[in-house]
Amino acid sequence: MMKCGDCTLCCTLLPIKELDKAETTSCIYCNKGCSIYKDRPASCAEFECLYNSSKDMDIKLRPDNTHIIFEKVTKDIYLGLIDPRYKDAWKVKGIQDYVNELNLKGISVILSSFSQEPKRMKIAKNHTQEWVHKTAIRLLKKELNGSS
């Protein structure tokens, strides 16, 4: 498991319903890490950042360096949440290379920010844009509604 180090991006980017925290606002409990870690809300505990849960991801891909947090929607669809303050972060070569690598492994990637910017889909050859869109929307809605 990779260490978060100086990164605290998820504690700013993500909306946390239990804390009434809107997306892209700093969490009041974020102080060089979570000051209520053992008692943090379920939404925080359940969130799986791909960098943090990986064994050997390049530190250059740590979200505070890329301004994008990747998470798995399914084993073959990933979501890249872009920090809206860096809306062009997805254009950086390191990200393009990483996304191409995922596509070659049969993983499609949706790149999205919380702004009105359109979502970008990088589709693996074995998928269709329509299937990826429908699957991701269904699962993300389920997650937002808190159902299993």
Binding mask of the shown chain, residues 12 to 41, with x at each position contacting ligand SF4 by CB under 6 A: ----x----------x-xx---x-x---xx
Q: Does 4 bind ligand SF4 (CB under 6 A)?
A: yes
**What residue type is assigned to position 100 of the chain?**
N
Write the interaction track for ligand SF4 spanning residues 40-79; mark x where CB under 6 A is met and - where it is not.
xx--x----x-xx---------xx-----x----------
Distance (Å, whole) CA 91 – CA 104: 18
Contact between 8 and ligand SF4 by CB under 6 A: the answer reads yes
Q: Are strands 108-113 and 68-74 parallel, antiparallel or unpaired?
A: unpaired
Structure tokens at 78: 């990933």
Of the pair 60, 134, the CB lying nearest ligand SF4 is at 60
- What span, in angstroms and rounded, lies between the C-alpha atoms of 14 and 81? 9
